[in-house]
Amino acid sequence: MRNYPHPIIAREGWPYLAVMMGASMLVTWGVGWLFASPFWIITLFVLQFFRDPGRVAPRNPNAVLSPADGRIVAVEKVNDPYLSREAIKVSVFMNVFNVHSNRSPVDGEVRGIWYYPGKFVNADLAKASLENERNALWIRTGDGADITCVQVAGLIARRILCYVNEGDRLARGQRYGFIRFGSRVDVYLPPEADILASIGDKVFATESILAELR
């Protein structure tokens, strides 16, 4: 895949931003600032939602990095439904004020991709992991550890974007996808991984460490 540069404002938001800025300027020119103020507020919301800052990954080669900005809502032992194995699931919930570009948690090769259409229940709920629209990546590290990273649509999310294919190699922190308007990302880790994240923690994509692989 082509490495995606960080343009500060995600390319996924450029059409929305262009429409809202055009509408805001048109209303401002036509009827004045007072009536145009709601349009400018929406424009500012779109601007902050689609921000896409560059991030620097920690040097720890065994670290599993957060694939998304948000809050940890689950840390639990589960069955990984994609690789049919015991795993530890760490879930990051993104609200509409978080950065929504998704980045690879580890260095590795994409060994599998699964997309499932589904519902759009609140991504903060546990059942969202298996009932909502989702896209899963199976990433195998150079040391043979298997990581499953799942983009999950939320209550108002209506588009999961994933830009990788089977066989692509990802670097830690490399941007691979985007979810529009509220969502979550589930990371399934080997059961022997040392978990460093706790429920309620605020995390940042690439910069925050969720776990360390043994």
Active site annotation includes 183 = yes
Which helix (DSSP H) or strand (DSSP E) does residue 109 occupy? Answer: strand 108-116
Nearest alpha-carbon partner for 142 in 106, 104, 187: 106
Question: What φ, ψ does residue 116 adopt, rounded to 5°?
Answer: -130, 120
Whether the CB-CB separation of 65 and 58 falls below 8 Å is answered with yes
Which residues touch 46 (CB under 8 Å, ≥6 apart)?
A: 13, 16, 17, 20
Which one of 66, 91, 104, 183 is the catalytic residue? 183
- The residues with which 180 forms a beta bridge, in sequence order, are none
What residues act catalytically? 183
